[in-house]
Amino acid sequence: MALETVFSTEASAVVFGPGATREVGPRMRALGCQRVLLVTDPVLAGLESVAIALDSLRKAGIDVEVFSNVRVEPNDASWMEAIAVAQARGAAKVDIADPDLKKQVDAMDKQQ
């Protein structure tokens, strides 16, 4: 039996460097976003980096709301709360990478 030795993977673009946070608005607009839920923790919510991101999103004409009740190391309950807030605000899509958490959210959707 031959073993597969070739694989491919795709990853999101990572943007970093001075001024990168100021680009979040135009980048989200380029993705077609009109409404954004910015998810952060209570400490970061009061820092300049979040203020810069909010300003960039608003200048790009994006309706943005902050959810700042996430833990530094989020657990399932923290994610479920953030997802519930996004859904309550009419999120068209919530992307979830964790397969176990995705199952929980899918089950929650079926109950509604």
> Residue 67 in contact with residue 79, Cβ under 8 Å?
no
> How many whole angstroms separate alpha carbon 12 and alpha carbon 111?
31
* Residue range 25-65, pLDDT digits in tens: 999 899 888 888 888 888 888 999 999 999 999 999 999 98
**For the residues 59-81, what does the mean pLDDT come to?**
85
What is the pLDDT, as a whole number, of residue 2? 66
* Residue range 3-22, pLDDT digits in tens: 666 666 676 677 888 999 99
Under 8 Å CB-to-CB from 68, ≥6 apart: which residues?
40, 41, 42, 44, 45
Domain annotation for the chain: domains and CATH numbers: 22-111 (3.40.50.1970)
What is the pLDDT, as a whole number, of residue 8? 67
